[in-house]
Structure 1
Amino acid sequence: MAETSLSPAQSAALFDILTHRETYREIEDFKQPGAIHKYGPPFQDDKGKTTSPILQTLLSKFILPLPGLRNVSVEFWKVRVTDIIDELSKAELSESFDKGILGIRKTLATAISALIEYPAKACLGGLPEDKERKPGSRKQEYDVKNPDDVLNAWQDCLQAIVYGNLIDELFQKAAETDDLTQHASLVQGMHEFVLVNIASIMHYTLVLSPEGPNLLRMIQNVHGMLPYSVIRQTLKVGNVATMISGVMRIILAKVSVSAVTNWIGLSSGADEGMNLLQQIISQVLGWEKRELKSRIAKIEKGKDAPPKGVLNEINTWVKDRPREEHDECRRQSKEQGRSIITVILSLSSESAELPEKQHARALEYLSLSLGVRDRQEIVRVLCQRNPDHLTAAIRDGVDAYTPMIRDVHQAVNLSDTLWDFERFVTDMLKISKPQGKKGEEKPPSVEDFVDLLHRHQTSSHKFLHQVAKNSKPLMETWRQYVHKAASQFNANEKPPESASVVPDSVASGGAREKMEEAYSKLGKEDQQAVKSELEAYDKYLKDLHTASAARISAVIKKSHSTPYGPGAYLARWQQLMDSTPVTPDKPKGPVRYGGSRSVKEAGRKDIDGEESGFVNEDEAEKVVDERTPEMPNIEKTVEMLGERFREILIGG
């Protein structure tokens, strides 16, 4: 092989590295004001270049063509969604670096990035056709209790969906029965693979991640405030228009005096108050804000409290200092190896020299103050803004989906469907909490979440069967959409037309070929350095999938021998969180990262400051130790080819 060439494995590793990096970079960019105005369609009419090529591609190819959503008003994207995203970015929600922990926003951002990079890679690189797995040559029987069969069923299903007729078979069978066992064993095996992976993600999010307890608490608060019984009664109304109007009044109606005076024209632009949805958001975040303020008060009155001037300076920095100063403080903290508190005080009239305990309290005070401000800003943007884009966006969405809601209402008992959903959430909340006597509690296992999904899967099967059986025109619409979506992954054909501004020449393997060409233009020394990293990364990917296969085997066999579930996705997610920089916890010291023990310890505190999650540190470390493997160094590859990959995606 020529020196300037990459092997297929090395080329795949390069494409994986650059897609992984670019996806997260684009998501991170949205915290900067104005990012949404450089996105392209559907937020702007400009058909030129975009600063978010991967996100724009996925949105254009898979989200915009969705039945119902494709009929949404132009204002939905260009006004409602654009303004909400832009205002959230202008709100400058807190950074993990300043807070010293990985908050819910960082947890969700990294989770989304790690998840959507898979369809991004499949869309840009294409799913290669596997002749050995093509329909007709695959294994005919699959045992859902055999881990190897489950893994093979998933790979065979991917081939049959993209290159075979499995989509048509699934839609036809769903109309015939709601019994999973009546489907082909291939589908049953694929279903088990998907179920185990969903259970794994739920377990990891709600139990293992540092923000799991806070997420659970938030879900529980929202669950307790939703008027399920009232909505179920409204869903029983036979007339579809009356039913939709009733549900909309329950969720979105505002009954303040200002709402009435605006409506009749006696006032214009007055604050109309909040609807039920906004009240729930405001109330849940308000409870959290109250707990955070309670902890702030304890610090202010505690014996190790920093001087009042220091606390005032922190408050001023959080509330009044511009974004540019915040960025400069982070830069100095990283470059100089000083905590963010030390840097803030060094730029003020207050002494930056604090005793160790006071410094620790000051860091905690900063984190809590940022948490309070975050919740205030979210409520301001989503619940107190005038005009109310959130309510208008929901109304736009309901208007676009009204024909589909009418079909589903006639095909399915929606009241029973909501009851099934309520029971599922109740059951999920119950099993997500540690079980056992106080002091001897054990966190739930992946197998517990698998059992949860097994118990409730018949509800979703029943819903899909009723829709497929009783609303054939609707199912035909969705069947055509799924066919078009699957064809985006076909490596042998040109992808279907879409609104994406990313050129088709980079799809279905085009970007990968251009990156091989870019590699060939590097100097020999750079080529060798990059190739060395690609070889290490290729081994890393193989180890990832081997470890994931071992864990899915353990979960299916119910051996309870793995602390967390299968999925290379989880390792990528954890890697993004572990590599997040966090302020030093000492006045002078190295920058910490999300994977640092002290950051994880701080993150395992609930919103009220109590320890939550794992029972002890040894158990927590066990999960970290078994999280395999560690990502190798890829800095040279990113440095040499990262920007070129981005240029290729945006058409450069």
Structure 2
Amino acid sequence: MAETTPLTPAQSHALFDILTHHETYKEIEDFKYPGAIDRYGPPFQDDIAKSDFPVLQTLLGKFALKLPGLRNVSPEFWKTRITDLIQELSQAELSESYDKGILGIRKTLATAISALIEYPARACLEGVEKETPNKNKKYDASNPDDVLRSWHDALQGMVYGDLIDEVFQKAAETDDLTKHPSLVQAMHEFVVIISIASLMHYTLVLSPEGPTLIRMIQNVHNLIPYTAIRQALKIGNVATMLSAVMRVILTKASVGAVTNWIGLSSGADEGMNLLQQIVYQVLNWDKRELRKRADKLEKEKTAPPKEVLAEIKTWLSSRSRQEHEECRRQSKEQGMSIVSVIMAMSAHSVEMSEQQHANAQSYLTMQLGMRDRQQIIKALCQRNPDHLTAAVRDGVDAYTPMIRQVHQAVNLSDTMWDFERFLTDMLKMSKPSGPKGQEKPPSVEDYVDLLHRHQASSHKFLHQVAKNRKDVMSWWQEYVHMAASQFKRDARPPPTDAVVPEDKAAGGSKKTMEDAFAKLSPSDQEAVKAELEAYQTYLDDLHAASAKRIAAVINRTHQSPFGPGAYLARWQQLMDSTAVTPATAHGEVRYGSSKTVKEEGRKDIQGNEAGFVTEEEAEKAVDERTPDMPVVRRTVELLGERFREVLAGGQ
């Protein structure tokens, strides 16, 4: 038997990166199936010791459930309200990108969340290696090298040093960022300004769904009664203030609400409160526009035969989830579009021209969009009992002690005004500007300037709370210390509701996976090592490219098509690898990276070209985001399931 060598530190890091990346997205993807929440574990079920979602459950158990306020919610908040909402949305079988032929908002958000949360997941599972940064170093927030280095050194200070206490103490003394240590200033520039600006730019400008997201945010912004809320926040008595705000947001004015309240009826439709009205109005506008497009398409000369249109509607409304999945399977295996498979499985024998087939696919996309919005409205706005309203009330009850303290420390009416101004400014600058016909979309630097313009508002808020309500800040200081301790390698993390065993956190699971690799056959080890070498080179290139973009943004060259952040490339990779139905009746399965998929995705709800950047500009951004993620199929096949077992408590 040929001898094999153990993994090098770089190879081990690459292995852990691959496994956490794939596991995180797999867990998010699995949540679309009914019953997933029943296999989650705490806080949804206390009697389950082994979760099918160990990464997501670990993040929730280690961080979210320990948050001041949220840790005090009633058990019904998780076990009844949130559980039922998640269950109902999963049972609704919201549309798949494969069927729609485009990457919709749900896929965009799911992949973005996965790309973001895999970083804290990896950090708490792998642990942060202890180093000794130079405490005498002076950082220059205008120097790209200092800004990039500041996050690494600040992380060391938070996990192993006393940086947390220094920041809290200085926040109580001043709201002037320049009075903080140079390390904090540079770290603030990296994390709060450049990273958030990059994410906003990528989501709202470069993403095909950017115009749709901006329109939805604008619609919500227009419907929020800021004046009424600000007036309620001015009330001096906290109980009266909270009651007034809750009446504005949650009161339902309908006959059903009154008859249920006085006992003349039980379960009658109580109508919708303001929060639900906003959700309903925004989604119903989209639904109405999609219906107009569908009605128009039905009347066109190149409209598909009526039998096709009727069969598409029947497939959506009357076929089971299993039948839908079978259609997708046949589509992929036989190289047929989803529309062709639907018709092949029907009682009709219909011939369609190429244009009729394209219109039939568009019709299916519109019907799926309408159904999605109706299902979301039904779950959030028209459900009885109303879990959304109850969940909001539970949250407010849990946070009432903190709200009482903050209300005495800060002018919340002014804080709401600051938020309104920020949102107005963001929406205004997020749209292309310039002479007609020469409009330019906003750049990363524009979003950096936006955050710089409004950062003083958040600094003022934090200073006032830290100065006037030290008890509130002590809650958060204690929480941040607890969160930072989850990343230590030299000590066991404090006990939480996470299902990952303590000995598998902060480096334990990484060591276990090294042992699992050692048990593979020599040929499998060589195959895995080859993939790890390629993946490590990919990671090095990603971080080098991100550092180059940080320099471009700080130096304001306006030459970077998108901002820094290796997670942006991971996000795009997840979207690019999403399978999509063939464009023609018979053809190859497409993916999110396909040009035809991107072209369709860049159309707005009315079917018009809506992207903020041209296809050429988008392709340039893709080219500059290279290299592409290498294939790591063998690594995932050989060690992926073992990794999940280890995280779930297996030995």
State the partner residue of 1:346: 344
State the partner residue of 2:147: 150
State the partner residue of 1:392: 390
Superposition TM-score, scaled by structure 1 size: 0.98
Report the AA paired with residue 92 of structure 2: A
In the alignment, the residues of structure 1 paired with residue 219 and residue 624 of structure 2 have an alpha-carbon distance, to the nearest angstrom, of 33
State the partner residue of 1:114: 115
1:198-597 → structure 2 map (5 Å cutoff):
198-351=196-349, 353-597=351-595
In the alignment, the residues of structure 1 paired with residue 411 and residue 632 of structure 2 have an alpha-carbon distance, to the nearest angstrom, of 53
Maintained 8 Å contact 2:337/2:583: yes
Maintained 8 Å contact 1:251/1:275: yes
State the partner residue of 1:188: 185
Report the AA paired with residue 476 of structure 1: S
Greater Cα offset, 570-579 or 46-55: 46-55
Maintained 8 Å contact 2:115/2:567: yes
Residue 31 of structure 2 is aligned to residue 30 of structure 1 = yes
Give the deviation of 1:138 after TM superposition.
Answer: 3.7
In the alignment, the residues of structure 2 paired with residue 4 and residue 649 of structure 1 have an alpha-carbon distance, to the nearest angstrom, of 25
Greater Cα offset, 462-471 or 502-511: 502-511
Maintained 8 Å contact 2:431/2:612: no
Report the AA paired with residue 337 of structure 1: G
Give the deviation of 1:615 after TM superposition.
Answer: 4.6
Report the AA paired with residue 191 of structure 1: H
Q: Secondary structure at the match of 1:241?
A: helix
Maintained 8 Å contact 1:14/1:534: yes
Maintained 8 Å contact 2:175/2:462: yes
Maintained 8 Å contact 1:580/1:593: yes
Name stretches of at least 5 consecutive residues in structure 1 with no aligned partner. none
State the partner residue of 1:53: 54
Give the deviation of 1:610 after TM superposition.
Answer: 1.2
**1:211-238 Cα distance to aligned partner (Å, 9 max, x none):** 1110000000000000000100000000
Give the deviation of 1:628 after TM superposition.
Answer: 1.9
Give the deviation of 1:435 after TM superposition.
Answer: 1.1
- Sort the Cα spacing of 1:105 and 1:615 in 2 relative to 1 into closer, same or farther, 3 A: closer
Report the AA paired with residue 168 of structure 1: D
In the alignment, the residues of structure 1 paired with residue 166 and residue 135 of structure 2 have an alpha-carbon distance, to the nearest angstrom, of 16
Maintained 8 Å contact 1:4/1:519: no
Give the deviation of 1:140 after TM superposition.
Answer: 2.2
State the partner residue of 1:92: 93
What do you get for the CA RMSD once the two structures are aligned? 1.0
Greater Cα offset, 558-567 or 439-448: 439-448
Give the deviation of 1:609 after TM superposition.
Answer: 1.1
Give the ranges of 4+ consecutive aligned residues of structure 1 lying more than 3 Å apart after TM superposition.
none
State the partner residue of 1:125: 126
In the alignment, the residues of structure 2 paired with residue 342 and residue 632 of structure 1 have an alpha-carbon distance, to the nearest angstrom, of 33
Maintained 8 Å contact 1:314/1:366: yes
State the partner residue of 1:43: 44
In the alignment, the residues of structure 2 paired with residue 236 and residue 348 of structure 1 have an alpha-carbon distance, to the nearest angstrom, of 63
- Sort the Cα spacing of 1:521 and 1:407 in 2 relative to 1 into closer, same or farther, 3 A: same
Give the deviation of 1:48 after TM superposition.
Answer: 1.2
State the partner residue of 2:162: 165
Maintained 8 Å contact 1:441/1:615: no
Give the deviation of 1:443 after TM superposition.
Answer: 1.1
Maintained 8 Å contact 2:70/2:398: yes
Maintained 8 Å contact 2:127/2:489: yes
State the partner residue of 1:20: 21
Maintained 8 Å contact 2:10/2:536: yes
Maintained 8 Å contact 1:342/1:352: no
Q: Secondary structure at the match of 2:487?
A: coil
In the alignment, the residues of structure 2 paired with residue 354 and residue 624 of structure 1 have an alpha-carbon distance, to the nearest angstrom, of 35
State the partner residue of 1:76: 77
Report the AA paired with residue 19 of structure 1: T
Give the deviation of 1:344 after TM superposition.
Answer: 0.4
Give the deviation of 1:304 after TM superposition.
Answer: 0.8
In the alignment, the residues of structure 2 paired with residue 492 and residue 503 of structure 1 have an alpha-carbon distance, to the nearest angstrom, of 16
Report the AA paired with residue 541 of structure 1: L
In the alignment, the residues of structure 1 paired with residue 352 and residue 401 of structure 2 have an alpha-carbon distance, to the nearest angstrom, of 64
In the alignment, the residues of structure 1 paired with residue 377 and residue 365 of structure 2 have an alpha-carbon distance, to the nearest angstrom, of 19
State the partner residue of 1:646: 644
Superposition TM-score, scaled by structure 2 size: 0.99
In the alignment, the residues of structure 2 paired with residue 416 and residue 352 of structure 1 have an alpha-carbon distance, to the nearest angstrom, of 63
In the alignment, the residues of structure 2 paired with residue 62 and residue 625 of structure 1 have an alpha-carbon distance, to the nearest angstrom, of 37
Give the deviation of 1:104 after TM superposition.
Answer: 0.5
Maintained 8 Å contact 1:47/1:501: no
In the alignment, the residues of structure 1 paired with residue 617 and residue 478 of structure 2 have an alpha-carbon distance, to the nearest angstrom, of 48
Give the deviation of 1:352 after TM superposition.
Answer: 5.2
Give the deviation of 1:616 after TM superposition.
Answer: 2.9
Give the deviation of 1:440 after TM superposition.
Answer: 1.7
In the alignment, the residues of structure 1 paired with residue 48 and residue 370 of structure 2 have an alpha-carbon distance, to the nearest angstrom, of 40
Give the deviation of 1:617 after TM superposition.
Answer: 2.3
Report the AA paired with residue 300 of structure 2: G
Give the deviation of 1:34 after TM superposition.
Answer: 0.3
Give the deviation of 1:183 after TM superposition.
Answer: 0.4
Residues paired across the two proteins, number: 648
Maintained 8 Å contact 1:69/1:400: yes
In the alignment, the residues of structure 1 paired with residue 350 and residue 126 of structure 2 have an alpha-carbon distance, to the nearest angstrom, of 52
In the alignment, the residues of structure 2 paired with residue 138 and residue 605 of structure 1 have an alpha-carbon distance, to the nearest angstrom, of 52
Give the deviation of 1:96 after TM superposition.
Answer: 0.4
Give the deviation of 1:353 after TM superposition.
Answer: 3.4
Report the AA paired with residue 110 of structure 2: A
Give the deviation of 1:335 after TM superposition.
Answer: 1.0
Give the deviation of 1:441 after TM superposition.
Answer: 1.4
**1:39-86 Cα distance to aligned partner (Å, 9 max, x none):** 001001114101000000000000001111111001000000000000
Give the deviation of 1:328 after TM superposition.
Answer: 0.3
In the alignment, the residues of structure 1 paired with residue 592 and residue 440 of structure 2 have an alpha-carbon distance, to the nearest angstrom, of 24
Q: Secondary structure at the match of 1:64?
A: helix
Greater Cα offset, 183-192 or 139-148: 139-148
Greater Cα offset, 428-437 or 167-176: 428-437
Maintained 8 Å contact 2:39/2:48: no
Name stretches of at least 5 consecutive residues in structure 2 with no aligned partner. none
In the alignment, the residues of structure 2 paired with residue 105 and residue 616 of structure 1 have an alpha-carbon distance, to the nearest angstrom, of 23
In the alignment, the residues of structure 2 paired with residue 439 and residue 601 of structure 1 have an alpha-carbon distance, to the nearest angstrom, of 21
1:56-67 → structure 2 map (5 Å cutoff):
56-67=57-68
Maintained 8 Å contact 1:281/1:379: yes
In the alignment, the residues of structure 2 paired with residue 417 and residue 441 of structure 1 have an alpha-carbon distance, to the nearest angstrom, of 33
